[in-house]
Structure 1
Amino acid sequence: MPINIPNGLPAKAILESEKIFALEEDVATKQDIRPLKIVILNLMPKKIETETQILRLISKSPLQVDIDFMMVKGHVSKNTSQDHLVKFYDTFDEIKKHNYDGLIITGAPVEHLPFEEVDYWEELCEIMEWSKKHVYSTIHICWGAQAGLYYHYGIQKKLMDHKVFGIFPQVLCDEYNFLTNGFDEIHLTPHSRHTAIDEEALAKVKGLEVLSKSKHTGSNIIATPDFHQIFILGHLEYGKETLAQEYFRDLKQGKPIQLPYNYFPEDDPNNEPVFSWRSHANLLYRNWLNYVYQMTPFDLESL
């Protein structure tokens, strides 16, 4: 089944070239079906790239999904045109009157700052609080996961000695969990961050389950038993070339950056990277959408 996207969204051409079925609003409204309603809070600088990555994963479900995009008004994007934001994005004030089956909060390049010093922190807190009553299930990604764990459970992040950067094997903790159903016992996940959560504080929180983890990256996928809150510390949504683009960007800017772990064949950046995490990324989002579809009421107003 297709995903339903705003008319004219740039990602549509890319998705169509990959044989992904995406319906624009004008066509989707003619189908007599109750699609899932998902809102994406996109905090990443390159919003079109992130839109495409996440829509690519959501589209692999057999369910029809309506997509809304949300932006914070407390931050001015320098890497995405205002025309694009005005055309395809709503502010929280415009979104908050609605209910949703799912919310996705992306990462953001602000991990060097204490949470309270991020210029849109108060607005993000308001959104996360709103999600408790207006969204059935929320996925938090990377910095978004750290922010969610801090806001909801008081789990602080800490600066690491070196950047966790590359493709890391993760050990599956519960093979029968619905969210990771079908995962191999070892699966790969991209990571790109300078901070990590306090694992000791996490272990003391009742009601959070670690679904996969690694000795290199710590906890990777964390969730409440009812999946109302899901936290993914890595970037399963990343495309094949994303880490390469980050690596060469930092090299060009003269920033200290190590070769991404387990990414370039033979650790040679001249070699094309291998897309080794795609199947598990697709499976995770398919499982999530399937669970949400089974559990949310037909009438979202009764959430």
Structure 2
Amino acid sequence: MPINIPDQLPAAGTLRKENIFVMTQSRAMSQNIRPLKVLLLNLMPKKIETETQFLRLLSNSPLQIDVELLRIDNRPSKNTPTEHLNTFYRQFEMIQDKNYDGLIITGAPLGLVQFEDVIYWDHLQTIMSWARQHVTSTLFVCWAAQAALKLFYDLPKRTRKVKLSGVYQHRTHHLCHPLLRGFDDYFLAPHSRFADFSTEYLAEHTDLDILASSEDAGVYLAATKDKRNVFVTGHPEYDALTLHNEYVRDVGEGMEPMIPVNYYPDNDPNQPPRASWRSHGHLLFSNWLNYCVYQQTPYDLNHFSEANFTKDDDSQD
């Protein structure tokens, strides 16, 4: 089944060219089924690029999904046309009385900024706390994962001396966990962050199930026992050229960045990079939608209650 997005959203054309089944809102209204309601809080500057990346991953599911786009505030954007934001994005105040099956909070280029210095920090905390009473499962990506660990576990910001950038090998743990269904023992995934997610640190200071980790990149995937909060410290949504574009940008700004690890053939930035993580990214999102959202959410979202969720119920398939 397809994702259901606004008819004129730029991502729709891109996804159709990739032979991804996109259903417009006008067609979806004629189908008498209960689609999943997924909210995407997009914190990235280039919102059109980011929304396309996440919609691509959400599309790989037999479920029909209604996607709503959310922005953190109404400040002007340097990278996204105002008309696009006004047309396709909602403010939190417009949706705060609704319930959702899933919420995705993207990363943000705030790796060297202290939480209390983030202009929308208080508002973001409000949204993450709201999700506990209004969302079945929330997926926190990269910087959002660090922000959620601060809010839910009071973990201080841990920053690496050198930015982690590249494609790293990860080992899966707890292969019977629903989020890891179909995973290989080892898989590749991209990272681009200053945040430090040490396996030992998270194991000592949280009760999270640590599901995948890397010797070089630390924890990659973790989840609460009830699967209502899922933390992804990397970027499975990235396109093949995203790390390249970030590298070129940093070089242009005189930052002298390290060449992204295990990304360019022969470690040569002049050669076209190759995406080696697509299958993993699609499988991760498919598992999240099925086992953390669809299998857990109430049929009638008006009857949403935290009591619906049990910590160790992995029996639903």
Provide TM-score, normalisation by structure 1.
Answer: 0.97
Give the stretch that moved more between structures: 180-189 or 248-257: 248-257
In the TM superposition, what whole-angstrom CA distance separates every residue of 1:99-148 from its partner, at most 9, and x where no partner exists? 00000000001121111110000000000010001000000000011001
Match of 1:286 in 2: 286
In the TM superposition, what whole-angstrom CA distance separates every residue of 1:264-296 from its partner, at most 9, and x where no partner exists? 011111222121100010000001111111221
Report the Cα distance in structure 1 between the residues aligned to 2:81 and 2:216, rounded to whole angstroms. Answer: 37
Report the Cα distance in structure 1 between the residues aligned to 2:6 and 2:241, rounded to whole angstroms. Answer: 26
Say yes or no: does 1:299 pair with 2:305.
Answer: no
Give the stretch that moved more between structures: 101-110 or 155-164: 155-164
Q: Residue 74 of structure 1: CA displacement?
A: 6.0
Report the Cα distance in structure 2 between the residues aligned to 1:14 and 1:188, rounded to whole angstroms. Answer: 25
Match of 1:118 in 2: 118
Report the Cα distance in structure 2 between the residues aligned to 1:180 and 1:256, rounded to whole angstroms. Answer: 37
The size of the alignment, in residue pairs, is: 303
Q: Residue 207 of structure 1: CA displacement?
A: 3.0
Provide the secondary structure at the position in 2 that maps to 1:179. Answer: helix
Match of 1:128 in 2: 128
Say yes or no: does 1:22 pair with 2:22.
Answer: yes
Report the Cα distance in structure 1 between the residues aligned to 2:184 and 2:200, rounded to whole angstroms. Answer: 27
Report the Cα distance in structure 1 between the residues aligned to 2:207 and 2:136, rounded to whole angstroms. Answer: 17
Match of 1:95 in 2: 95
Provide the secondary structure at the position in 1 that maps to 2:288. Answer: helix
Q: What is the percentage of aligned positions where both structures have the same residue?
A: 48
Say yes or no: does 1:55 pair with 2:65.
Answer: no
Mark the CA change 1:44 to 1:206 in structure 2 (over 3 Å): closer, same or farther. Answer: closer
Match of 2:159 in 1: 159
Match of 1:83 in 2: 83
Provide the secondary structure at the position in 2 that maps to 1:295. Answer: coil
Report the Cα distance in structure 2 between the residues aligned to 1:17 and 1:184, rounded to whole angstroms. Answer: 29
- Correspondence 1:1-303 to 2 at 5 A: 1-73=1-73, 75-197=75-197, 199-291=199-291, 292-303=293-304
Report the Cα distance in structure 2 between the residues aligned to 1:161 and 1:183, rounded to whole angstroms. Answer: 31
Q: Residue 188 of structure 1: CA displacement?
A: 0.6
Mark the CA change 1:156 to 1:76 in structure 2 (over 3 Å): closer, same or farther. Answer: farther
Q: Residue 82 of structure 1: CA displacement?
A: 0.9
Q: Residue 204 of structure 1: CA displacement?
A: 2.6
Report the Cα distance in structure 2 between the residues aligned to 1:25 and 1:265, rounded to whole angstroms. Answer: 42
Report the Cα distance in structure 1 between the residues aligned to 2:73 and 2:275, rounded to whole angstroms. Answer: 35
Provide the secondary structure at the position in 2 that maps to 1:155. Answer: coil
Provide the secondary structure at the position in 2 that maps to 1:140. Answer: strand
Question: Runs of 5+ in structure 2 lacking a partner?
Answer: 305-317
CA contact (8 A) 2:203 2:210 kept: no
Report the Cα distance in structure 2 between the residues aligned to 1:210 and 1:156, rounded to whole angstroms. Answer: 19
Question: Runs of 5+ in structure 1 lacking a partner?
Answer: none
In the TM superposition, what whole-angstrom CA distance separates every residue of 1:145-194 from its partner, at most 9, and x where no partner exists? 10011111112222212110000001101111100111111111100111
Alignment root-mean-square deviation, CA: 1.2
Report the Cα distance in structure 1 between the residues aligned to 2:183 and 2:100, rounded to whole angstroms. Answer: 27
Amino acid corresponding to residue 217 of structure 1 in structure 2: A
In the TM superposition, what whole-angstrom CA distance separates every residue of 1:44-99 from its partner, at most 9, and x where no partner exists? 00000000000000001111000000001164322111110000000000011110
CA contact (8 A) 2:169 2:188 kept: yes
Match of 2:315 in 1: none
Mark the CA change 1:68 to 1:62 in structure 2 (over 3 Å): closer, same or farther. Answer: same
Report the Cα distance in structure 1 between the residues aligned to 2:206 and 2:256, rounded to whole angstroms. Answer: 39
Match of 2:314 in 1: none
Mark the CA change 1:159 to 1:5 in structure 2 (over 3 Å): closer, same or farther. Answer: same
Q: Residue 206 of structure 1: CA displacement?
A: 4.8
Mark the CA change 1:181 to 1:172 in structure 2 (over 3 Å): closer, same or farther. Answer: same
Give the stretch that moved more between structures: 236-245 or 196-205: 196-205
Amino acid corresponding to residue 224 of structure 1 in structure 2: T
Match of 2:307 in 1: none
